[in-house]
């Protein structure tokens, strides 16, 4: 859960609710739309990233508001491949969140 380590989390984590950027939700949905969640394909359950995040009990706002979490790839120097980093980060985040509902 990357947002826990973000130094600016007071901007997007308030009242025990995480606000994620709509652009992050869209990327997450795109990367995981063929995954199975509770026996159904995510792409069949939700029509877009915003709906997916809101059903996961996140607040969703456009990145331009600057009050939401977005994984900044340029700050992650641990992995050589940007594509690999984003996919791995989204997968780990998705697994952690999915575990909350089982």
Report domain extents, the chain. 2-100
pLDDT of 64-80, one tens digit each? Answer: 988 888 876 666 555 44
Q: What mean pLDDT is reported for the chain? A: 75
Q: Which residues, in sequence order, are bridge partners of residue 69?
A: 20
For 27-45, what is the mean pLDDT? 92
Does 1 or 39 have the greater pLDDT score? Answer: 39
How would residue 17 be classed by pLDDT, with cut points 50, 70 and 90?
A: confident
Residue 16: exposure state from Cβ atoms within 10 A (0-12, 13-18, ≥19): exposed
pLDDT of 79-102, one tens digit each? Answer: 444 444 455 555 555 545 544 544
Rounded distance, CA 71 to CA 59, Å?
A: 16
């Amino acid at each position: 859960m990357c947002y826990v380590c973000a130094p600016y989390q007071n901007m997007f984590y308030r009242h025990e609710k995480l606000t994620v950027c709509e652009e992050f939700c869209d990327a997450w949905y795109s990367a995981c739309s063929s995954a199975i969640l509770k026996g159904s394909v995510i792409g069949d359950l939700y029509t877009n990233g915003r709906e997916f995040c809101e059903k996961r009990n996140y607040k969703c706002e456009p990145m331009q508001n600057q009050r939401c979490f977005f994984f900044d790839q340029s700050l992650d120097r641990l992995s050589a491949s940007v594509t690999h980093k984003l996919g791995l980060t989204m997968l780990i985040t998705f697994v952690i969140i999915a575990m909350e509902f089982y």
